Amino acid sequence: MGMAALGALKAIPGAFAQAAYPTRPVKVVVPFAAGGATDFFARRICDDLRKELDQAFVIENRPGAGAVLGASLAAKAPADGYTLLFMTNSLCLQEAVSPPAKNYSLTRDFVPVSGLYNLDLVLVVNSALPIRSVADLIAYAKARPGELNYASAGVGTTLHLAMELLKQVGGLDIVHIPYKDAPSARLDLVGGSIHMMVDTANTALALSSEGKVRILAQTGATRSTAMPAITTVAESGLPNYQANSFAGLLAPQGTPSAALDRLRASLATVLSKADLRASWQKQGASVIEAPAPVFQRMMQDDVDQWTRLLRDTRLKLV
C-alpha cells in the first residue's frame, strides 16, 4: 500500500479500530436448553448484535449441571472476545451451592459485558386458599406448621431458594415439593395438591386472570413497571426479603478492552430499542440499567445472599 493510501486511512478516525472487532463470528454460550425462556432472550440479543456489528453472533446451547457445564466451557475459552457467556443468576446460586466442586469462579474468571434484564417473579397461592396477602399467608402457615407445601422447578433453582428465603425471613415451616420443571409444578398448583410457589410473573398473571391462582406479591426489591399495582413482599411486612432473577452477558477474564468497549456500546444501543423493551415486557422482563461495574456488584450481592441463606438454614442442595 502506498504512503498516500496509508495517510488517507490514518485520516479516518477509528478506521483500523472499527475493523478490528469482530472480524469473525462470535460464539455465545447459553448454558440452558434450546427453546426455553433464557434461549428466547439470548436469541433476540444475538440477532440485534448481528445487526449492530455486522457479524454473526452464534448461540451454542450447553445445558447441564445446573448451568455449570456451559459456564465452565466459556471460562476455559480464549479471552479474545469471540466467546461470551449468556448467564442468569442461577449461576450465582451455583457459586453459593458448590464453590469447591467447580473449576471456575463466576466473579473471578469472567468480566461483565453488561446486565441485560430482570425477570419478574411473584409469590402465588392456589385460589381456593383463604389467603389474599402476605400477612394472611404468614398467619395461615404459622397456624399450620408443616401442613402447607410449595413447589419449585427443582432443587437449587431460583424458584426453590426464593421460597426458602421467604420461609427463613418469615419464620415459616412449609414443605418443599420439587418438580422436574416449572410447568409440572404449575399444573399441580392449579389442581390444588400444591398450595403455593414463586413463579415467573407473565405465567402467573395469565393464570390469575383465569382465577386459577392468586398473586400475593412481587419478590423483587421494587415494583415492576409491568405490575405497578402489585406490592412487593418487602412492602407487605417482610422488609428483609428480596429475590431476583436476572441475566447478563459475560466474557472470559482478560478479554481485550477494545472488544469489551465495542460490545458495551452496541448493547447500550440494542437495549434502548423500544420494540425490544416491549417484547421483553410481554415476557415479564425489564431491561437492567446496569453497566459492567454495577452488574459485577449485582452478581456478587446475589452470591452473598444465597451463601448466607445456605449457611444459616443449613439447607442441603447437593
Q: List pLDDT tens digits, range 73-119.
A: 999 999 999 999 999 998 998 888 876 556 888 888 999 999 999 99
133 or 12: which carries more pLDDT confidence? 133
Question: Are 203 and 271 part of one and the same domain?
Answer: no
- The answer to whether residue 126 sits within a structural domain is yes
Question: Are 211 and 66 part of one and the same domain?
Answer: no
Question: Are 164 and 274 part of one and the same domain?
Answer: no
pTM of the model: 0.83
> What integer pLDDT is reported at residue 3 of this predicted model?
44
- The answer to whether residue 2 sits within a structural domain is no
- The answer to whether residue 14 sits within a structural domain is no
- The answer to whether residue 5 sits within a structural domain is no
Question: Are 67 and 145 part of one and the same domain?
Answer: no
Question: Are 298 and 292 a contacting pair, CB within 8 Å?
Answer: no
Task: Pull the grid cell for residue 221.
Answer: 426489591
Chain mean position to CA 241 = 18
Task: Pull the grid cell for residue 82.
Answer: 469471540
Q: List pLDDT tens digits, range 185-228.
A: 999 999 999 999 999 988 899 999 999 999 999 999 888 888 89
Q: Specify the DSSP class assigned to residue 65.
A: G
Q: List pLDDT tens digits, range 241-270.
A: 999 899 999 999 999 999 999 999 999 999
Instruction: Kindly state the average pLDDT of the residues 35-42.
Output: 88
Flag the least confident range among 18-22, 38-42, 62-66, 258-262. Answer: 18-22
Last residue of a domain, one of 208, 239, 270: 239
Domain count, the chain: 2
Query: Which CATH number fits the domain that encloses residue 207?
Result: 3.40.190.10
The domain of 81 spans 25-119+245-311
- The answer to whether residue 17 sits within a structural domain is no
Residue closest to 59 by CA, chosen among 29, 32, 81, 88: 29
Query: Which CATH number fits the domain that encloses residue 259?
Result: 3.40.190.150
Query: Helix, strand or coil for residue 166?
Result: helix
Q: List pLDDT tens digits, range 283-311.
A: 889 999 888 999 999 999 999 999 999 99
Question: Are 114 and 125 part of one and the same domain?
Answer: no
| Host H or E run for residue 123 | strand 121-126
Q: Quick check: 136 pLDDT over 70?
A: yes
Chain mean position to CA 70 = 15
Give phi and psi for 111, each to the nearest 5.
-120, 135
Q: 98 Cβ partners below 8 Å, 6+ apart?
A: 317, 318
Question: Are 194 and 150 a contacting pair, CB within 8 Å?
Answer: yes
> What integer pLDDT is reported at residue 318 of this predicted model?
61
Question: Are 62 and 201 part of one and the same domain?
Answer: no
Q: Which residue has the cell 453488561?
A: 114
Last residue of a domain, one of 189, 204, 239: 239
Last residue of a domain, one of 220, 239, 258: 239
Q: What is the DSSP string of 69-93?
A: HHHHHHHHS-SSSSEEEEEETHHHH
Residue 25, preceding peptide bond in cis (omega within 30° of 0): no
Strand ordering across the sheet containing 175-178? 175-178, 149-152, 196-200, 121-126, 213-218
